[in-house]
Amino acid sequence: MKYEDIVRNQEILEYYERGNAILKALGYTDHSTVHTKVVAAKAAEILNAFEYSPEEMELARIAGFMHDIGNVVNRHHHAEYGALLANEILKETDLSIPDRVQIVSAIANHDESDGVVADPVTAALILADKTDVRRSRVQVKDPILFDVHDRVNHAVTANRLRCGLEEKRITLYLTVDEEICTMYEYFDIFLKRMTMCSHAARILDAQFSLKVNGQRVL
């Protein structure tokens, strides 16, 4: 079972279509396969930058693509629901038990509310997921209806994640229109996520930094 097979799995695709429709109705940002493909690619790039094996990169891709399928059940505890759904799907593949358990564990622990970072695959998934902040994730079309999550994402006009092996640092560079969103609002929403990124970076023997509009803020 390879990543290319996972992204074509009809059950997973149906989970995402239904789950994102529910979140859109609730006013959430995009959690479709657009988001999860970004996360999958970033997670693999992070592990590649720190010279982890191709096998671990592949597990990170799969976990990255599948990490939000639990939204089809409920947004609350979606990580745990997603892990259970993923386990049932992956049981039907030729993945080894250790690889399946690794993917399931990463999915189960990716949420900042109660997730635990204990291995590189989970760390890469968390870093890729929590740094996917961008204007195109906003699903509400009328700015008058924006909540604070929408404003924060809409305010981000540029996003780049840089991983440096030599300096052992992972840096998220954001360009933020502060007329749309204040830095106070950004940290009010994302502080727990950025803290989780710091924990994840340490698993990769690195430090996490955040630079906004050219200034280091974390």
> Residue 70's domain spans which residues?
3-216
The tokens describing 35, both together, are: 């988001």
pLDDT of amino acid 1:
83
Sign for the CA dihedral angle at 144, 149, 152, 154 comes to negative
Mean pLDDT by 10 residues, the chain (218 residues): 95 98 93 98 98 98 98 97 98 97 98 96 98 95 86 94 96 95 87 96 98 92
The 3-state DSSP class for residue 73 equals coil
pLDDT of amino acid 126:
98
pLDDT of amino acid 85:
98
CB 174 within 8 A of CB 212: yes
Q: What H or E segment, with its residue span, contains residue 47?
A: helix 33-49
CATH number for the domain that contains residue 77: 1.10.3210.10
Please tell me the pTM assigned to this model. 0.96
pLDDT of amino acid 93:
96
Q: What H or E segment, with its residue span, contains residue 85?
A: helix 78-90
R_g of the chain, CA atoms, integer Å: 17
Domain count, the chain: 1
